[in-house]
Homo-oligomer: A and B are copies of this chain.
Amino acid sequence: MNNFKYRNPTKILFGKGQIENLSTEIPANSKILMLYGGGSIMKNGIYDQVKKALSGYEVVEFGGIPANPEYSVLLKALKVIKDEKITYLLAVGGGSVIDGTKFLSAAALYEGETPWDLLTNKKPVTEGMPFATVLTLPATGSEMNSGSVITRAETKEKLAFGGPGMFPQFSVLDPEVVKSIPQRQLANGIADAFTHVMEQYMTYPIGAKLQDRFAESIMQTLVETAPEIMKDPSDYEAASDFMWSCTMALNGLIQQGVPGDWAVHSMGHELTALYGIDHARTLAILAGNHYRYNFETKKEKLAQYAERVWNITEGTLEEKAHAGIDKTDEFFKSLGIDIKLSDYTKDYSETGSTVAKRFTERGWEGLGEHKSLKPSDAQKIIEMSY
Other-chain residue from B8, B11, B241 in contact with A209 (beta carbon distance below 8 A):
B241
The stretch that binds B, out of A75-83, A212-220, A287-295, A364-372, is A212-220
The stretch that binds B, out of A12-20, A118-126, A184-192, A347-355, is A12-20
**Most chain-B Cβ atoms within 10 A of its Cβ — which of A14, A209, A245?**
A209
Residues of B within 8 Å of A237, CB to CB, are 1, 207
Asked if A224 is at the interface of the complex by the 8 Å CB criterion, the answer is: yes
* Distance A241 CA – B256 CA, assembled complex (angstroms): 12
Q: How many copies are assembled?
A: 2
Q: Quick one: CB contact mask for A39-73 with B, threshold 8 Å, 1 for yes?
A: 00000000000000000000000000000000000
Shortest beta-carbon distance from A279 to chain B in Å: 23
Shortest beta-carbon distance from A211 to chain B in Å: 8
Shortest beta-carbon distance from A238 to chain B in Å: 8
Q: What is the chain B residue whose CB lies nearest that of A4?
A: B14
Q: Quick one: CB contact mask for A251-269 with B, threshold 8 Å, 1 for yes?
A: 0010011000000000000
Interface size on A, residues (CB 8 A): 43
Residues of B within 8 Å of A7, CB to CB, are 9-12, 170
* Distance A87 CA – B170 CA, assembled complex (angstroms): 29
Shortest beta-carbon distance from A306 to chain B in Å: 18
Asked if A5 is at the interface of the complex by the 8 Å CB criterion, the answer is: yes
Q: Using a CB–CB distance below 8 Å, which chain A residues touch chain B?
A: 1-18, 170, 175, 207-211, 213-214, 216-218, 220-221, 224-225, 237, 240-241, 244-245, 248, 253, 256-257
Closest 3 CB pairs between A and B? A3-B15, A213-B217, A7-B11
